[in-house]
């Protein structure tokens, strides 16, 4: 990541060094005045008009051309590196947004570097122009000083042409640099656009991914929800089934218990009924016996009134005290003859105490009973 920047810096460094070397060579290479002049201003170089032989210029030119060529080569190399760099950047842009940001910064730095370089180049050119102009002035002064020195003049013209050519060359270089810059700018823009697109694409992709992820998340959540609901439903059904099973089991148990209880109750009842029937039979026997005894006893005490019409019949209700004593006698259905009714009542009283059975249950039936009196 740092490497392209270093490379750029390195490239810039080389370029600067080349220019410096060129200037030093120009200064040092020329024959300097013996008497050193005080240099008041560092930025303004006072070019010592020096006579240079053609050979020297040619060689110098050759040397410059070679240097230029080297520079171009370097430049080409640099552009190639830039292309590579862009290519790398593009590749990298596609990979990550972070890299994009780094690259952008780097590209900016690079562009700034290039601009600085271009400006330095301009400054150098301007310096060169300044030097040329100073040299023209020097030549003019030499012209003035050395009249008509055509040759020198031509030489100066050639020198000027050479300078012009150099200038043109520089212009061409500048243009080429400009083009390179524009190209770099376009490349940058393209790269930016590409970056933008890539970024948008990445963004879209990211959004799409996010959307997908969100959907996937939603889907997952939905599925999770469904799963949970299904789980809950399953549990609910299971719970219901469990409860139903429990209820069924309880009902079955209850039914069984009830059936057993019912069976026991039935048995108990049957036994009770049988016992009651036995008791009832026994009691009935005792009651029958005592009915006869009481019948005979009451009859013995019944003194019917004479002179009564036929067919009289009176029904009495008799309440007997525990000892057999007659407690209360009342007429339930009168014969219509008060004396006859009375005779029957008196018979019951006279028969008191009535012989009750010792069996309490049988005796109970004589606690309250009815007597029907009829003579026939």
Partner 1 sequence: MARRWLKFVGFMLMLLPWHAHALLTIEITGGSEAALPIAIVPFGEEGVIPPEDISEIIRGNLQSSGRFAPLAKSDLISRPHEQSQVNFADWRLLRSEGLVIGKVSSQDGENYQVQFQLFDVYRGTQMAGKRYQVPVSGLRNLGHQISDLIYEALTGEVGVFSTRLAFVTVQRTADGARRFALQISDADGANPRTILQSAQPIMSPRWSPDGEQLAYVSFENGNSEVFVQQLRSGDRRSVAAFDGVNSAPSWSPDGRRLALTLSRTGSPELYILDISSGELTRVTHNSQSIDTEPVWMPNGRELVFTSDRGGRPQIYKIPVEGGRATRLTFEGNYNASPDISPDGQKMAMVHAVAGRYYIAVQDLRSGAVQILSQQGRDESPSFAPNGRMILYATEQNGRGVLAAVSVDGRIHQRLAESGIQVREPSWSPLRK
Binding site residues, partner 1, CB under 8 A: 273, 276-277, 280, 283, 287, 291, 294-295, 298-299, 301-307, 317, 338-339, 343-347, 349-350, 352, 361, 364-366, 368-376
Closest approach, Cβ 285 to partner 1, in A, equals: 14
Instruction: Count the Cβ atoms, other than its own, within 10 Å of residue 345.
Output: 19
- How far, in Å, CA of 349 to CA of 180, rounded? 158
Count Cβ neighbours within 10 Å for each residue of 317-335 and write b for 16 or more, e otherwise: ebebeeebebeebeeeeeb
Closest C-alpha among 176, 186, 197 to residue 83 = 186
Cβ closest to partner 1, residue 14 vs residue 302:
302
**Closest to partner 1 by CB, 252 or 338:** 338
The neighbouring-strand residues paired with 316 are 331, 371
Give the distance from CA 92 to its chain's centroid.
Answer: 32
Work out how close the CB of 264 gets to partner 1 at its nearest, in angstroms, rounded to a whole number: 20
User: Cβ closer to partner 1: 128 or 287?
Assistant: 287
Q: Is 44 left (phi over 0), alpha (psi -120 to 50) or beta?
A: beta
Report, in angstroms and rounded to the nearest whole number, the Rg of the chain calculated over CA atoms: 73
Nearer Cβ to partner 1, position 202 or 351? 351
Structure tokens at 337: 């003859």
Beta carbon of residue 322, minimum distance to partner 1 (angstroms, whole number): 16
C-alpha 75/C-alpha 60 separation (Å) is 21
CB of 374 to partner 1, least distance (A): 6
Shorter beta-carbon distance to partner 1: residue 1 or 372 = 372
**How many CA atoms are closer than 13 Å to the CA of 304, on its beta-carbon side?**
16
Nearer Cβ to partner 1 (191/287): 287
Q: How far is the CB of 327 from partner 1 (least distance, A)?
A: 12
Q: Which residues contact 4 (CB under 8 A, 6 or more apart)?
A: 81, 85, 88, 89, 106, 110
Give 200 or 361: the residue with its C-beta nearer to partner 1.
361
Question: Least distance (Å) from partner 1 to the CB of residue 367?
Answer: 9
Residue environment code for 94-106, b if the CB has 16+ CB neighbours within 10 A, otherwise e? beeeebbebbbeb
Closer CB to partner 1, 49 or 339, in the complex: 339
Cβ at position 262, least distance to partner 1 in Å: 21
């Amino acid at each position: 990541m740092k490497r392209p920047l270093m490379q750029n810096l390195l490239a810039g460094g080389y370029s600067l060094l080349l220019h410096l070397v060129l200037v030093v060579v120009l200064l040092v290479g020329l024959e300097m005045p013996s008497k050193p002049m005080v240099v008041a201003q560092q930025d303004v170089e006072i070019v010592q008009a020096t006579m240079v032989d053609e050979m020297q210029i040619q060689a110098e030119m050759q040397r410059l051309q070679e240097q230029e060529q080297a520079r171009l080569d370097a430049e080409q190399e640099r552009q190639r590196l830039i292309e590579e760099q862009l290519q790398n950047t593009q590749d990298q842009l596609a990979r990550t947004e972070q890299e994009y940001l780094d690259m952008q910064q780097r590209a900016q730095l690079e562009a700034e570097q290039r601009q600085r370089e271009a400006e330095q180049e301009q400054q150098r050119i301007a310096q060169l122009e300044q030097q040329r102009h100073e040299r023209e002035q020097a030549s003019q002064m030499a012209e003035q000083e050395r009249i008509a020195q055509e040759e020198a003049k031509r030489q100066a013209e050639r020198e000027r042409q050479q300078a012009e050519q150099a200038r043109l060359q520089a212009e061409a270089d500048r243009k080429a640099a400009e083009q390179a810059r524009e190209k770099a700018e376009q490349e940058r823009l393209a790269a930016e656009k590409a970056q933008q697109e890539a970024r948008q694409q990445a963004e879209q992709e990211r959004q799409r991914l996010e959307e997908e992820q969100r959907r996937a998340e939603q889907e997952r959540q939905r599925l999770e929800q469904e799963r949970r609901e299904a789980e809950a439903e399953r549990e609910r059904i299971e719970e219901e089934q469990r409860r139903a099973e429990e209820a069924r089991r309880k009902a079955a148990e209850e039914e069984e218990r009830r059936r057993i209880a019912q069976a026991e109750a039935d048995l108990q009842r049957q036994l009770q009924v049988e016992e009651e029937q036995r008791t009832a039979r026994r009691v009935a026997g005792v009651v029958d016996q005592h009915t006869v005894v009481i019948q005979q006893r009451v009859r013995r005490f019944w003194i019917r009134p004479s002179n009564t019409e036929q067919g009289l019949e009176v029904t009495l209700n008799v309440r007997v005290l525990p000892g057999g004593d007659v407690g209360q006698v009342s007429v339930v259905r009168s014969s219509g003859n008060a004396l006859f009714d009375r005779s029957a009542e008196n018979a019951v009283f006279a028969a008191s105490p009535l012989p009750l059975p010792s069996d309490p249950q049988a005796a109970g039936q004589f606690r309250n009973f009815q007597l029907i009196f009829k003579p026939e």
